[in-house]
Amino acid sequence: MANPIALAAEIFLFRGSSRLISLAPSDLLIIGLYFLMVLGIGIYLRRYANTSNDFFMAGREMSAWVAGLSFLSANLGALELMGWAASTYQYGILAAHFYWIAAFPSMVLLGLIMMPFYYLSRTHSVPGYLQLRYGDGARALSGISFAVMTILMSGINMYAMALVMKVVLGWNIHFSIWVSSLTVAVYVALGGLYSAIFNEVLQFFLIWMGALIIPILGMMEVGGWSGLKARIFEQTHSNDYVHLWSTLGTFSGNPMGVHWTGVVFGLGGAIACGYWTTDFLVVQRAMAAKDLRSAQLAPIIAAYFKMVVPLIVILPGLLGLAVLPYKLVPESAAAPGLHTYNEVLPLMLARYAGPGMLGLGITALIAGFMSGMAGNVSAFATVWTYDIYQPYVRKGMSDDHYVRVGRWCTLLGVFLSIGTAYFVTQFKSIMDYMQALVGFFISPLFGSVIMGMIWKRTTAKGGFWGLFAGTASSIAMYTAVKIHPGWLRYVALSPDAKDMAENLYRALWSLLICVFVTIVVSLFTERKTAAQLQSLTWGATMFPKDEHLPFWKTPWFWGAGVGVFFGILQWMFW
Amino acid sequence: MRERHHMLPVWFFIGLLLTVYGIIILTTSLDAWSVPSTTVLAQYHPGVWGGVVLLAVGGFYLFQFWPRKRG
């Protein structure tokens, strides 16, 4: 007699499709239980999410650990995991820079320097901080762009997930999109940010439990780090894939085509700081902490885990380079019988994980996609309700009204994401443009926020025009290089620079332009008074004292520890 | 958070799910102990170890954060 789970799966999921991985009934059971759990959590948390503070900010009562793990998980989506494993296969250990120099100093900067202003100002969002510091113009620009981009990225991620599930598991695309989206819609509309955070912390555990099998068995197979290096050299006839910094002296000396200045200032400075300190999707999690110390510790805790994530993302990519019996190809060269870079993580999972463990690994990927969508729609609902609807559409309504708006916004956000996912199926190249769109805003936004926080003299006009100039310059550079690819040499300052260098240097220039324009315009425009800058700027803010705390419990101690950990890793993999 | 709302903490749900997963994976892997597998290094029975670890971690969180009546 046929197994009922396998039979139902065959009918609804796999009809007429080919797949990379076959799932056993135990795998399908594990996946199904995950869906039941997240729905159950949403239904349970509904009773606690009745005020706007609860629904949008999880009551501002998360512990440092919960806020920290969800802060990291909000970014640790399946697309990111699979994408960076793919990039590692392509570029080698250089991809680890996107974890290590991305964690330090940006996440520590957020915790130690910027979070006090976000938290003490009692703002509910990054656009909300901009409104307090610079006025409505900056908030509107930031809020609307964030809301639009968040929904677009949510839809793109949903499409990418459906495509991955189709290629890897043979699942029907429509099934993947609708089942995942509706599940997210239910649990976020019911439990708000509580649900999103709970499921992100759950996802964190699933990802580790599901993916650790790859580095453990992989390193056993190759015989440790020296064995891995030897196997990679056999495959590639190059040592460049296992060095983090020693190949960055020239653009042409490494597989990625970048220079160390781009990595340090472009990636570590402009891009990482732009994302980790101003993207409301992640900052919202730290803002939901129960007190300032927890809010400061959240990104610092996340930084430690961020620096360990390469174990389950970068190392699988390197192991794939070493042990897979066939070469993977870029997406542009995909053809029947060939596997692409993006498939390296599921291929490695299938290599080592048997029934049960495979289901756990796939559940971790699905959880990553879904919590990414949940994070996007919960952030969208918050920014829409607080920064667009409340100030510009219907002011002065009751708290209940705004909670209802938030719930409907969540559903609207999910359906807009589904629409975007279907739109992308028709216009696949839009994905590249959407990802570039995020990059246009993120570094100039960091410039505006940090100038507002550390320099009292920054004026509202300075902040707005700096943000505008930085964004416009980023769009201009991107467009120029798209039209004239040879102009990359001017953006990246080298004829040997490759595409990745364009992202890094464009982010750096747009940040610098933003800061420059902010300073110049501020010097010629009216500044705010000290009273108006209270809790918003260095020099006009009373910070709570931590004198009762032993030094090893302070955020500064743990932040310094991140720096030490970072230094050790760079030295180990030089 | 728990004190204010009597809300079950996230760790309870994590413990619950990991414990259930541990039972499923351990049972599946023991059931397939003597069945030849196509995965690499299957002779080390990673599913059994994985199931044990899941049960240990899940069980710890479940025990630690199981809702208890207030005295």
Q: Which amino acid is at A479?
A: T
pLDDT score for B69: 57
Task: Note whether B41 contacts A221, CB cutoff 8 Å.
Answer: yes
Highest-pLDDT range among A250-254, A318-322, B4-8: A318-322
- pLDDT, tens only, A244-269: 898 888 888 887 788 888 889 988 88
Task: Note whether A213 contacts B16, CB cutoff 8 Å.
Answer: no
Distance from CA of B63 to the nearest CA of A (A): 17
State the DSSP code for A271.
I
pLDDT score for A369: 84
Q: Which amino acid is at A354?
A: G
Give the HSE-up count for residue A242: Cα atoms under 13 Å, Cβ half-sphere: 21
- The model's confidence at residue A426, banded by pLDDT at 50, 70 and 90, is confident
- The model's confidence at residue A342, banded by pLDDT at 50, 70 and 90, is confident
- The model's confidence at residue A149, banded by pLDDT at 50, 70 and 90, is confident
Give the whole-angstrom CA distance, residue A159 versus residue A176. 9
Region class of B66: left (phi > 0), else alpha (psi between -120 and 50), else beta: beta
Q: Which residues contact A235 (CB under 8 A, 6 or more apart)?
A: A321, A322
Q: Which two tokens stand for residue A493?
A: 């300052």
- pLDDT, tens only, A464-499: 899 999 999 999 999 998 898 888 888 888 888 777
The mean pLDDT of chain A is 87
pLDDT score for A428: 62
- The model's confidence at residue A164, banded by pLDDT at 50, 70 and 90, is confident
pLDDT score for A168: 80
Give the whole-angstrom CA distance, residue A332 versus residue A165. 19
- pLDDT, greater one: A366 or A428: A366
Q: What are the φ/ψ torsions at residue A352 (nearest 5 degrees)?
A: -110, -25
Averaged pLDDT for residues A90-95? 89
Task: Note whether A355 contacts B44, CB cutoff 8 Å.
Answer: no
Stretch 28-47 of chain B: residues touching chain A, C-beta under 8 Å: 28-29, 32, 37, 39-42, 44, 46-47
Beta bridge partners of A62: A289
| pLDDT above 90: residue A19 | no
Assessment of whether the complete model's pTM goes beyond 0.90: no
- pLDDT, tens only, A374-416: 888 888 898 888 888 888 898 889 999 999 999 999 999 999 9
Task: Note whether B25 contacts A356, CB cutoff 8 Å.
Answer: yes
Listed in order, strand segments (DSSP E) in A374-531 are none
| pLDDT above 50: residue A16 | no
Q: Which two tokens stand for residue B52?
A: 């044990």
Assess contact for A501 and A251: CB atoms under 8 A. Answer: yes
**Domain limits, chain B:** 2-33+41-65
Q: Which residues contact A101 (CB under 8 A, 6 or more apart)?
A: A263, A264, A267, A268, A272, A566
| pLDDT above 70: residue A547 | no
- pLDDT, tens only, B12-39: 999 999 999 999 999 999 998 888 788 8
Biggest distance spanned by C-alpha atoms of chain B: 54
Assess contact for A373 and A178: CB atoms under 8 A. Answer: no
Task: Note whether B24 contacts A29, CB cutoff 8 Å.
Answer: yes
- The model's confidence at residue A183, banded by pLDDT at 50, 70 and 90, is very high
Q: Which residues of A touch B50 (CB under 8 A)?
A: 209, 213, 356-357, 360
| pLDDT above 70: residue A8 | no
Beta bridge partners of A289: A62
Give the whole-angstrom CA distance, residue A274 versus residue A13. 40
- pLDDT, tens only, A36-87: 999 999 999 999 988 988 898 888 888 889 888 988 888 887 777 888 898 8
- The model's confidence at residue B61, banded by pLDDT at 50, 70 and 90, is very high
CB of B48 within 8 Å of a chain A CB? The answer is no
Report the residue from B7, B10, B29 with minimal CB separation from A356: B29
A499, A503, A74: which is closest to A285 by C-alpha?
A: A74
Indicate the CATH number for domain A15-537: 1.20.1730.10
Give the whole-angstrom CA distance, residue A420 versus residue A424. 6
- pLDDT, tens only, A117-129: 999 888 888 888 9
Task: Note whether A357 contacts B50, CB cutoff 8 Å.
Answer: yes
Q: 3-class DSSP state for residue A340? A: strand
Averaged pLDDT for residues A87-99? 89
pLDDT score for B71: 43
Work out whether the CA dihedral A271, A273, A278, A284 comes out positive or negative.
positive
Percent of chain A having pLDDT more than 90? 40
Give the whole-angstrom CA distance, residue A138 versus residue A523. 18
Give the whole-angstrom CA distance, residue A146 versus residue A164. 26
**Could you report how far apart the first and last alpha carbons of chain A are, in Å?**
58
Degrees to nearest 5, angle at CA B44 with A327 and B21: 90
Residue of B nearest to A351 (CA): B39
From the candidates A209, A214, A219, A285, which should be mutated to test the interface with B, based on the most B CB atoms within 10 A? A209
- pLDDT, tens only, A206-219: 999 999 999 999 99
Q: 3-class DSSP state for residue A86? A: helix
Q: Is B36 exposed, middle or buried (0-12, 13-18, 19+ CB in 10 A)?
A: exposed
